Chain A
Amino acid sequence: MDAGVIPGTFLLLLSLLVLLVVLILRGRKGPIPSVRPLPAFQDIRTEAGYAAESGGAVHIALGNGGLYGEDSVTSLAGLQVVESLADIAVSYGAPPIITVGDPTLLPLAQDVLRRAYERNGAAESYDPGKVRFVAPSPVAYAAGAANLVATGKVTANVTTGAFGHEVSLLADAGARRDLPQLAAAADPAAIGALYPTTDRLAVGEELYAAGAQMTDERRYLTSLVAQDILRLILILLMLGSAVIGFMGR
């Protein structure tokens, strides 16, 4: 391991931690911070409502990330979308169908759905079979989930989580049925594959803003502000180092 990497990572983590704590403490009172709206998440709850009203189910694909490994945080970000959409879908009596490609995510996604049922006073109607483990390999998962979108009673397709270019199979199944599609991906290969299929695409870091955009909760919004501030600092640092490097040449 490069010795310079660890102090750099430590410094970045520490500065983010301090910034986040300061913003949370300051943001407990006063107006809710405003963030720039992302087209991918605008009106998605309303659309999920329409989809549920039409009698079908919203399919939410969480991809092949699990709770163990480098994609764990991406999967958690995908779960925020599930948490936000599950409530509205359950309240319409049309629970979403959630597919996962890593079994470690299965109990967590089931728990998120179960809590949505409990919040809506319909705990006895909860069906754990609405969360499905499809396959552990990325291509097999995408093909299995695509089959569900193509043949099941799905009226909207939401793709959010850890995907690669195989997500094209899933998006294609949705496009063939002309379903409203929302996608959020962090992997450049998945972004490239999703771009032609939907204009409601959250790219890269926007995936992690899903919770803030869809719930407007203060806890998510303050952390998003911290992220924006740090990004600005990083950009300035990079520009500064480039200028210094250029002048020193």
Chain B
Amino acid sequence: MSSLIKRWIPTLLFTVLPGLVVLAGYLLPSNQTLVDFRHELVEWAVIVAAFAFLLGVFNILRVHGRQVFRRRQGWFYSLVLLFAMVAAATPPTTQAILEVVRPDSPVHKTLEDATSTLFNYTISPLGASLAALLVFTLTLAAFRLLRTRRSAGTVFFLLVVALVLLGTTPLIGLEWLADVRDWIVNVPGMAGMRGLLLGVALGTIITALRVFLTIERPYSES
């Protein structure tokens, strides 16, 4: 009885039932009640996700705050991270509070500008620079592969990568490489990709069904 109340009723009520309602709302779009329920539940999920974000912020404060206070290796970077986090959060948070407290305040525009400046001139370029590093890490990985795994498969992999890269580059006299690249991408590449995605879809469905059938309960002791 205790197991029924403590384990099964919450599981069925908060996991299986909402899951089935959302799925039914998707599969039976003609039933407006189910569709409305689905939208409502999805909105609740968004609210929960927003609170989870707060948890994430507290986690960052805890982990990096401890790093700074205990002067562990790399504490200065943690301090910079905390400072950057507070600096980035201040303008939008202040704006959100002012919108409630003083909706006619002239500071709104300044805060909005500060937020967009932070995003456009600091966060976006930093993200782009980090993404640019990928070219180097991928190239390094290819070289490392030649060193550590010398096999026919490795040579074939690198040959295909080189062909596809060269085929994307507009080299005079080697225009035929573009056709080779197109063939690689559209025929064997696409076939492999479809097979992969089909397997992923099946794996996704099976895992979701395991949660629905309560075979898998990531939120409680099995």
- A90→B10 CA distance, assembly (Å): 29
Query: Is chain A's binding surface mostly helix, strand, loop or mixed?
Result: helix
Contact A188 B206 (CB under 8 A): no
Residue of B nearest to A108 (CB): B218
- A128→B61 CA distance, assembly (Å): 13
- Is residue A195 contacting chain B, with contact meaning CB distance below 8 A? yes
- A28→B58 CA distance, assembly (Å): 44
- Is residue A171 contacting chain B, with contact meaning CB distance below 8 A? yes
Residue of A nearest to B56 (CB): A103
**Which of B93-101, B107-115, B173-181, B209-217 faces chain A?**
B209-217
Residue of B nearest to A169 (CB): B137
A1-20: contact bitstring with B at CB < 8 Å (1 yes, 0 no)?
A: 10000100110110011001
- A188→B189 CA distance, assembly (Å): 10
- A58→B118 CA distance, assembly (Å): 36
CB neighbors of A among B2-54 (8 A): 23, 26-27, 29, 45-46, 48-49, 52-54
- A1→B35 CA distance, assembly (Å): 14
Residue of A nearest to B199 (CB): A205
B138-149: contact bitstring with A at CB < 8 Å (1 yes, 0 no)?
A: 101110110001
Contact B203 A227 (CB under 8 A): yes
- A193→B27 CA distance, assembly (Å): 36
B82 to chain A, nearest CB (A): 13
Known interface pairs A76-B207, A132-B63. Does A140 touch B196 (Cβ–Cβ under 8 Å)?
no
Which of the four size classes fits the interface of chain B? 35 or more
Which of the four size classes fits the interface of chain A? 35 or more
- A-side residues, CB < 8 A to B, are 1, 6, 9-10, 12-13, 16-17, 20-21, 24, 66-68, 73-74, 76-77, 79-80, 83, 103-104, 106-108, 111-112, 115, 128-129, 131-133, 136-137, 139-140, 142-143, 147, 151, 165-166, 168-169, 171-172, 175, 186, 188, 191, 193, 195-197, 199, 203-205, 207-209, 211, 219-220, 223-224, 226-227, 230-231, 234
- B-side residues, CB < 8 A to A, are 23, 26-27, 29, 45-46, 48-49, 52-57, 59-60, 62-63, 66, 73-74, 77, 127, 130-131, 133-134, 137-138, 140-142, 144-145, 149, 157, 193, 196-200, 202-211, 213, 215-216, 218-219, 221
Contacts A/B (CB < 8 Å), 21 sampled: A13-B27, A16-B205, A67-B49, A77-B207, A104-B49, A108-B218, A132-B60, A133-B55, A143-B130, A169-B130, A169-B134, A186-B200, A191-B196, A196-B141, A196-B144, A204-B196, A208-B207, A220-B210, A220-B216, A224-B206, A227-B202
